[in-house]
Amino acid sequence: MTTTAIELAPNWKRSLALASPLILGTLPLTMHPRGGGRHPRVIEVPGGVMLRTGAANPGLPRVLRDNERVWASSPVPIIVALAAQGARDWPAMAARLERVPGVGAVELHLNPTIAAADAVRATRAATELPILAKLDLDQAVEIAAECLAAGANTLVIGRAPRGMVMRDGHPWYGRLYSPMVKPLVMRAVAEVAARRLDAPLVACGGVHSADDVREFLAAGAVAVEIDSAMWVDPQVVARIAGEVETG
């Protein structure tokens, strides 16, 4: 399989070109540090794990202090994943990243508690960086067109599905990370692709092999994000990239 440059911000004033269809997925940053939720934050389930981090992260300012020099010399564009407790946080963080060397785009991790299109629209007003809207999987098909109309350049489908397990007789809620997620994401990608919204689609969920990548591309995605597979095998991205390139 021969890969060519992939443009994630077509017809936009700033290009976001990738040499590979593989993107490293990361947990999102918030404006201020967050200590996260109570333990346990990870519960093993058959075939995967449930994760509830409480958005634990060091905060955007700290990450910028620690990484600006490295990002400036990165051979690939840095896509900064962002989360927010309120719609105003995304524009503020995007504006702060606007002129940071090496930053090629922002990825908004949207959730059902905030109006997705309003968040995208406010962020677009604050930055010229390409915007990737990472849609909650349960809402992806429903809100895809609205997010693009509000100013998103690319749709990422999607955030890990929400689930619940019983722990010590009490419900425990989190997001499911597992190869089992792949069929759910495949269906959502195919349904959004069928709407011909004239925007790049990135698939995220259940990617653990080069065959997974090929199948998502066949379903309508132009690229894929790999996240939890790296927790199992830190070398998985390099291996998949080599197999996709040669296969």
Please list the pLDDT of the chain residue by residue as tens digits (247 residues): 445 689 999 999 999 999 999 999 998 999 999 988 888 999 999 999 999 988 899 999 999 999 999 999 999 999 999 998 777 899 999 999 999 999 999 999 998 888 999 999 999 999 999 999 999 998 999 999 999 999 999 999 999 999 999 999 999 999 999 999 999 999 999 999 999 999 999 999 999 999 999 999 999 999 999 988 888 888 988 899 999 887 6
Domain boundaries, the chain: 6-246
Nearest of 206, 154, 208 to residue 185 by alpha carbon: 206
**pTM score, two decimals?**
0.94
pLDDT digits (tens, 9 = 90+) for 56-105: 999 999 999 999 999 999 999 999 999 987 778 999 999 999 999 999 99
| Spatial distance between the Cα atoms of 105 and 11, rounded to a whole number of angstroms | 15
Q: How many residues does the structure list for the chain?
A: 247
Q: What is the pLDDT of residue 192?
A: 97
What crossing angle do the helices spanning 182-194 and 210-219 adopt, rounded to 10°? 30
CATH number of 6-246: 3.20.20.70
- Beta strands 201-204 and 223-226, pairing class: parallel
